[in-house]
Structure 1
């Protein structure tokens, strides 16, 4: 199993990580790994599990799309958010990248993303999963668009996770709160919140991966 992250691998094993243009790696059936060695397949890729950047696609970021003073206006009359004037362009580029991923020529494909605009811009996901279905007491709806793959079967149903209520009435999942107040940088918080829960990763590997090469 090989991975292709946008960032340096954080869990070790650079000998399994490509870093570069994913479309080139797929088309060339390999390339240069993060440790500097080269690896190429004899045949075609069998399975790709893709995690396109969700910053501009997820519903959680919708509040940054329009000017806060225009919330009562029809959508077409709202101005861009003053802090993020290029949000519309960024979203269209993110949609295009997602669709490019959906068209890569592999036999089996899974695309993972939070609940967002791709359900309407493309199609509804084949499945929506949660960490609590795979042994983690946490809630985080995750959409899966699948090609030639079965639905993931939950492996360990547990509680949905503690929800904290703050004095101002806002509510937040405890696992998210723990990250937010951990004292790490905003960039590190984003990385931690976007990490795939190990139980979900194990289920994908075991149920979709078949016999894995060492």
Structure 2
């Protein structure tokens, strides 16, 4: 299958699909952290191509609950509108299988997005003893099933010290979640193809 992993520099989701033999490519404005197929540039350059699956991780800076206070204090409403417009490029894309991943959105983002999320997952459901609520907007793919529920509910990412690299660590997909995405959704797609 041909899989686009949009707005991903870490390569974690891309590599999970590649490991299963799929034709996957990541795309971001940043270079990839790991060797592998990666388009350095605007994802809109790739959205006109045919894809079997699109998994997008659009920037959450203006959309997430954690940053809602700045909308008023810094008058960032235009940036919110731009972020929602970009997010909706994926939600409204004609590809039959699309997943968009982001933290819990605030009410102003929800009002501007094409629709609300379908599933909320946590790293501790996929082998990582941490919390980081992650929402999935799903089109043509089922909700992820937990693969390894573990104890421990550390808020490592949330409590990380401020610094220039904190945002990068916060945006990396947990490897257990990346593997579950590739394994479960590729199996689903292959079963559909065999039916």
User: TM-score, normalising length from structure 2?
Assistant: 0.76
Structure 1 position 61, deviation (Å): 0.2
2:31 is equivalent to residue 11 of structure 1: no
Alpha-carbon RMSD: 1.7
- Tell me the residue number matched to 2:134: 142
- Measured in 1, the distance between the counterparts of 2:59 and 2:156 equals 24
Q: Cα 1:180–1:24, aligned 2, differ >3 Å: closer, same or farther?
A: same
Deviation at 1:26, TM superposition (A): 2.3
3-state SS of paired residue (1:111): strand
| CA–CA separation in structure 2 for the residues paired with 1:91 and 1:200 | 27
Q: Distance in 2 between matches of 1:106 and 1:64?
A: 34
Match of 1:180 among 161, 167, 177: 161
The answer to whether the 8 Å contact 2:132/2:158 transfers is no
- The structure whose RCO (Cα within 8 Å, separation 6+) is larger is 2
Superposed, which structure 2 residues align to 1:72-91 within 5 Å? 81=73, 84-85=74-75, 87-91=76-80
Give the superposition deviation at 1:107. Answer: 1.8
Change (3 A) 1:88 1:119: closer
Aligned residue for 1:26?
47
Displacement of 1:108 in angstroms is: 0.6
Mapped partners of 2:111, 2:149: distance in 1? 29
Which is greater in Rg?
1
* Partner of residue 51, structure 1: 57
2:179 equivalent to 1:202: yes
Partner of 2:137, secondary structure, is strand
TM-score by length of 1: 0.70
Partner of 1:166: none
Paired with 1:205 and 1:175, the residues of 2 have a C-alpha distance of 23
Deviation at 1:160, TM superposition (A): 4.2
Contact 2:127–2:148 (CA<8 Å) still a contact in 1? yes
1:119–1:125 contact (8 Å) kept in structure 2: no
